[in-house]
Chains A and B, each alone.
Chain A
Amino acid sequence: MSSEPTIALGTARVGFRGRIKAIAAGRVAAGMSAPELERRLIELGFVEGADVEILHQGLFGGDPIAVRVAHTTIGLRRREAMAILVSVGAEP
């Protein structure tokens, strides 16, 4: 488990599937404090162990992205998605 490579969800392409390993809000220069960003991500269902898949992305710079987390679809920008660390290629 610990040897699995992780990447930031914000760098992944459309079609990517993985499982959340950690929320690391401190990595992101968002418009709010790291603890606040972390809480907001959790409130939208981004918690460790949840399966994610990138469904869509915007036209310019592939931003924002539409992410399915468990059974809910959330739209968010890549900048904030950098705080979501995911394992690569987890099978649903």
Chain B
Amino acid sequence: MSVTASAAAPVVALVGNPNCGKTALFNALTGSRQKVANYPGVTVEKKVGPLTTPAGRTVRIVDLPGTYSLRARSPDEEVTRDIVLGRTQSDVIPDLIVCVADASNLRLALRLVLELKQVGRPVMLSLNMMDIARKRGIEIDIEKLGRELGLPVVSSVAVRRGGTDALLAEIDRRLAAAQAATGTLWTTPDATALRRAQKEADRILASVVKGQGKPDSLTTRVDAVLLHPVAGLVVLLAILFVMFQAVFAWAEPGMNAIEAIFHFLGDLVARLPLPDLLKSFLKDGLIGGVGSVIVFLPQIVILFFFILLLEDLGYMARAAFLMDRIMGGAGLHGRAFIPLLSSFACAIPGVMATRVIDDRRDRLTTILVAPLMTCSARIPVYTLIIGAFIPDREVWGFVGLQGLVMFGLYTLGIASALAVSFVVKRLIWRGKPGEPFMLELPDYKLPQAKSLAIGLWTRATIFLKRAGTIILSMMILIWVLASFPQPPKGATEPSINYSLAARIGTAIQPLTAPLGFNWQINVALIPGMAAREVAVGSLGTIYAISGGEEATDKIAQALSSQWSLATALAFLAWYVFAPQCASTLAVIRRETGGWRWLWVTFFYMLALAYVAAFLTYRIAIAFGGG
């Protein structure tokens, strides 16, 4: 326990409005030693990090989700309320509450401080981003503010060396004083109480702050373009375009390097003096399987780089603002834009990001359609099939046909997500007016490299952990299924034809025959449930092709000789819709708190996939693609 503080260490909780620089402060205090996990029972992320104070005290710093009030409305805010009030089952009960406020945007924060004072635990206020406030000519009389609030107040600059010294010293002083928690006076405030508190906050603000007259001129100028009704949308589309270009183009060298490493490892194992069966297990099952998934790490890192960057800049709230009306037409909330954007990387963070949507109905609609967005796990499947069946030629003189089909699949995903949410809104929740869209548009901030790096590192670790657990075990399973039972002596057919995999594939044949699927596809679909991309590796194993860097080409050759065009297109259509991801279903169950929405998602996607594949197959045959 040298890096993580022990469970007995005092807990200091950071509470504040969204966008107050709380997470940057948390990163500055704990560095990369933080641990990200989920709170018990909910998927709201719990960030805890150890800190040694100047006096040598070890404390645990907890970063709580941003909120305007302890009156919780979303799962995110419930966590903040429960921890602040000490109502949780977890061991995280704060000994000191540090309210973090953006010094250049104090008004709403002061009301929150007044609310926190009623909780009956030691509270202090840290004015963050003091440098930005000073630059904008805002002067705050810190001593007077402390007297007015009856709390210790310090200033901090999270991004500068030594910027947290005053805060650390005060944390030490507070913890040394060891005030015991008194009974809480906090009750859910009504409108009258909130109004009174905000007026009190306004009075204090007026008496301690000078020069808060003018808004941030940079934000005003940038917003003149970025929030312009037409130019704003054009810029948003341009940003999305650059983002997806980057995901494909920039990731290429990294992906090649990772492939080369796994290829090298595979070769290494092949040369070891081991029994053939063990060798095959290590090379095809372990290294090949996990490698086929880890290869997406660069794409996921790049996508998250953009998402975190836009978030830190303060742009995400603007994107939600611009998209609100457009998405509203399909029955989605403006805030659903960010979760759906994340779903292009992976539906799991997408579903988790729906926590920012307060209203349960809006949140459920977003969760239902998030898996329809084309996630990065579909990319290898699409690439393989397109490469094998779609001729590499140009249409209209300048557009590559293969790229066009890829674009079409993405569009199909988006269009069906909008269509499904439209239907859900009209059929299931008809007549209920939608949740209000209310969102603070924070001043733009320069992102901090350190915070970005920590965020990316966290995402990458989560992905690698997944590859190391779920995907690894699925690859082992498919290898076992494809290898046992071993063929009898003197067998003439390929050994896989005697395996369990072949028997399973043949057994479900009657179900998938109308879609033009053969037993090999059926077998690949099963482990594809664990992770979509595994289907590529599975098809490789099933068609008994030894791996290597040219593996993709070889699978493509095998497929194009054994599948009809109609089958290939039906397979693509299936993959646009099919609920082929157990982890997404699991996260839906956890986020919605029950099995019901898992099954709703599973069956509606399965039905869509079946119908789409069936129609595609029949139409393709009618046009001579059989």
Contact = CB atoms under 8 A, between A and B. Distances in A.
A35 B191 CA distance: 7
A76 B229 CA distance: 15
A77 B198 contact: no
Interface in B310-327: 317, 320-322, 324-326
A59 B437 contact: no
A73 B326 CA distance: 21
A88 B298 CA distance: 54
A49 B212 CA distance: 17
A32 B436 contact: yes
Nearest to A40: B438
B215 interface: yes
A45 B68 CA distance: 10
B166 interface: no
A31 B229 contact: no
A75 B321 contact: yes
Contacts, number: 125
A42 B198 contact: yes
Interface in A53-81: 55-61, 63-64, 66, 68, 70-77, 79-80
Contacts of A50: 202
A3 to B, nearest CB: 23
B332 to A, nearest CB: 13
A39 interface: yes
A49 B194 contact: no
B190 A58 contact: no
Given A58-B322, A66-B441, A71-B212, A29 B433 contact: yes
Chain B interface size, under 10 / 10 to 19 / 20 to 34 / 35 or more: 35 or more
Interface in B208-242: 212, 215, 219-220, 223, 227-230, 233
A40 B68 CA distance: 9
B15 to A, nearest CB: 15
A48 B442 CA distance: 22
Given A39-B71, A47-B199, A68 B191 contact: no
Nearest to B318: A75
Given A44-B68, A66-B321, A30 B440 contact: no
Interface in A4-58: 23, 29-32, 35, 37-45, 47-50, 55-58
Chain A interface size, under 10 / 10 to 19 / 20 to 34 / 35 or more: 35 or more
B107 interface: yes
Contacts of B324: 58, 63-64, 75, 77
A55 B227 contact: yes
Contact of B199 (A32, A49, A56): A49
A3 B359 CA distance: 39
A47 B321 contact: no
B433 A80 contact: no
Contacts of A70: 107, 202
B441 A31 contact: no
Contacts of B326: 60
Contact of B68 (A32, A43, A56): A43
Interface string B107-127: 110010000000000000000
B107 A45 contact: yes
Contact of A58 (B73, B194, B321): B321
B199 A31 contact: no
A74 B195 contact: no
B553 interface: no
Contacts of B195: 42, 47-48
Contacts of B453: none
Nearest to B334: A64
Contacts of A57: 229
A42 B191 contact: yes
B437 A58 contact: no
Given A64-B321, A77-B324, A79-B436, A71 B215 contact: yes
Contact of B191 (A39, A56, A58, A73): A39
Interface of B: 68-69, 71, 73, 104-105, 107-108, 111, 189-191, 194-195, 198-199, 202, 212, 215, 219-220, 223, 227-230, 233, 317, 320-322, 324-326, 334, 359, 432-442
Given A45-B107, A50-B202, A73-B442, 19 more contacts: A32-B359, A32-B435, A35-B191, A43-B69, A43-B71, A43-B108, A49-B199, A56-B229, A58-B229, A58-B324, A66-B321, A70-B202, A72-B108, A72-B440, A73-B215, A73-B219, A74-B440, A75-B324, A77-B436
Closest 3 CB pairs of A and B: A59-B229, A56-B227, A75-B321
